[in-house]
């Protein structure tokens, strides 16, 4: 099979993300699987796509003085210029002559000699004159937004919610590559044994920094390991692993995972129950429920019952069944996982947050009707937006006087996060532990 050109593939991936709003992480995986790239080229491809995407707004600001007089520019030309400038500004190990040569060759192939001349001219002008300084921007919100490539409305909102200093730290950490982590199935082995097994397979592995169930990998794709294939490891971020711990399922519990796909938290809870009881795992989409089934089969867990169902219809469709514990890991804006999916920060808007918070309220209301008295309801999201977190919980409690926040949350979670727990609520911001941003609330149904 002929080896694909890395930069050309990266341009095509960036076009697909921008034009079709393809999810960056899924598109990258598919492209890598279909291409014949060497491991070294996979790294470069990933760096080019994620780096260019992460810094899109900054790169556009840098390019503006050099392209402002150009007539209408095709999207792929702008993307090629962004990607070339990203290499010039942020990657030390690539010689500029190689960047120019590749950009010109791609321009000739995708366009014609005229475009190649334009691209070459812009890049040489940048090389000669340098990029404009961001220090000239007086407004601190606008400057931070452009420095870290986040929409101004989002930076403004976070600054209101968390202060400018926290917002700067969050925005800056979003520019770093995410840490790869996996959850250990402790029915079969300890975290220490998992690390040892991965090291023996030449993975660069260590114990997690936050979750007691985690291993982190500095190098290597854990899905290729024999431990993963045997169902002894599952890919999951460390913050996300705290959710099942907050639910605290025990042997023979009846648990509902109301928004379960792709199934990581369902598996974790089923493992904590040591294969007893039942985790009913719901999702709207058949293909996502199939994913949960596949994951449960891989891990050899028979106490998971995946079902295609809108959780908002569950009180009617589950025919009066009641659960000891319920997890609502609600659909959300995903602002806590921007490091993994940088396209999120450009794709979402303020209206999405309002729409999502209404759905989150509906899900909580439906789930609450399926819980036994004295039972536990855990609400979680992978966002840092207070409208989708604290405000959703405040509204829920105001309209459901038979529920209260469960102050015992601390006892189920590692000491490291205790300073960030307020009553029954935990908000992890992405820069606290360099994990995903995550929100978890533990509620109790009064007896």
Q: Which residues are catalytic?
A: 382
Q: What angle do CA 425, 427, 429 make, to 5 degrees?
A: 175
Q: Which residue has the tokens 């002894």?
A: 232
On the CB side of 29, CA atoms within 13 Å amount to 8
How far, CA to CA in Å, does 388 sit from each of 360, 380, 435?
Answer: 7, 10, 19
Annotated binding site for S-adenosyl-L-methionine: 259-265, 283, 310, 329
Contact 103, 123 (CB under 8 A): yes
114-117 LR contacts (CB < 8 Å, sep 24+): 115/77
Q: What is the per-residue burial (b if ≥16 Cβ within 10 Å, else e) of 222-238?
A: beebebbeebbbbbbbb
Annotated binding site: 259-265, 283, 310, 329
How far, CA to CA in Å, does 12 sit from each of 20, 75, 79, 339?
Answer: 11, 11, 9, 21
3-state secondary structure 327-368: EEECCCCCHHHCCCCCCHHHHCCHHHHHHHHHHHHHHHHHHH
**CA neighbor of 271 nearest in space, from 243, 244, 291, 289:** 244
How many residues are recorded in the chain? 447
Distance CA 260, CA 283 (A): 6
334: alpha, beta or left? (left if phi > 0; alpha if psi -120 to 50): left
Distance CA 144, CA 148 (A): 6
DSSP reduced 3-state for 384: coil
Locate all alpha helices (DSSP H) within 131-258, ordered by sequence.
140-148, 152-162, 164-173, 191-200, 226-229, 238-247
Omega prior to 262 cis, within 30 of 0: yes
- Longest distance between any two alpha carbons in the chain, whole Å: 76
Structure tokens at 311: 């959780």
- Residues in a beta bridge with 444: 376, 404
Cβ-based neighbours of 213, under 8 Å, separated by 6 or more: 183, 184, 186, 191, 241, 245, 268
């Amino acid at each position: 099979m002929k080896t694909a050109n890395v930069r050309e593939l990266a341009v095509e991936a960036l076009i697909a993300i921008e034009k079709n709003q393809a999810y960056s992480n899924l598109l990258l995986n598919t492209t890598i699987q279909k291409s014949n790239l060497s491991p070294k080229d996979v790294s470069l491809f990933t760096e080019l796509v994620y780096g260019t995407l992460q810094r899109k707004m900054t790169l556009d600001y840098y390019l503006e003085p050099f392209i402002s007089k150009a007539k209408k520019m095709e999207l792929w030309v702008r993307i090629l210029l962004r990607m070339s400038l990203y290499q010039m500004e942020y990657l030390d190990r690539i010689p500029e002559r190689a960047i120019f040569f590749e950009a010109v060759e791609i321009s000739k192939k995708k366009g014609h000699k005229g475009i190649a001349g334009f691209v070459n001219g812009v890049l040489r002008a940048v090389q000669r004159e340098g990029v404009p300084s961001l220090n000239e921007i007086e407004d601190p919100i606008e400057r931070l937004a452009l420095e870290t490539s986040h929409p101004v409305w989002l930076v403004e909102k976070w600054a209101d919610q968390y202060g400018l200093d926290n917002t700067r730290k969050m925005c800056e950490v979003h520019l770093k590559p995410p840490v790869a982590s996996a959850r250990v199935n402790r029915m079969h082995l300890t975290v220490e044994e998992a690390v040892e097994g991965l090291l023996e397979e030449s993975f660069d592995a260590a114990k997690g920094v936050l979750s007691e169930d985690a291993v982190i990998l500095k190098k290597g794709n854990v899905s290729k390991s024999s431990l993963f294939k045997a169902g002894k490891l599952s890919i999951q971020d460390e913050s996300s692993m705290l959710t099942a711990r907050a639910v605290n399922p025990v042997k023979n519990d009846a648990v509902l995972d109301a928004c379960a796909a792709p199934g990581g938290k369902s598996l974790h809870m089923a493992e904590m129950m040591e294969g007893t009881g039942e985790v009913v795992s719901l999702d709207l989409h058949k293909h996502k429920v199939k994913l949960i089934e596949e994951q449960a089969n891989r891990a050899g867990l028979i106490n998971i019952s995946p079902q295609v169902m809108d959780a908002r219809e569950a009180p009617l469709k589950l025919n009066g069944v009641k659960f000891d514990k319920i997890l609502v890991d609600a659909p959300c804006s995903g602002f806590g996982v921007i490091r993994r999916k940088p396209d999120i920060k450009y794709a979402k808007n303020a209206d999405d947050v309002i729409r999502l918070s209404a759905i989150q309220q509906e899900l909580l209301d439906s789930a609450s009707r399926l819980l036994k008295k004295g039972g536990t309801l855990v609400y979680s999201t992978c966002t840092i937006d207070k409208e989708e977190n604290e405000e959703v919980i405040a509204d829920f409690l105001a309209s459901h006087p038979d529920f209260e926040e469960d102050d015992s949350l601390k006892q189920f979670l590692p000491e490291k996060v205790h300073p960030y727990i307020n009553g029954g609520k935990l908000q992890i911001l992405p820069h606290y532990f360099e994990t995903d941003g995550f929100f978890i609330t533990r509620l109790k149904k009064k007896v």
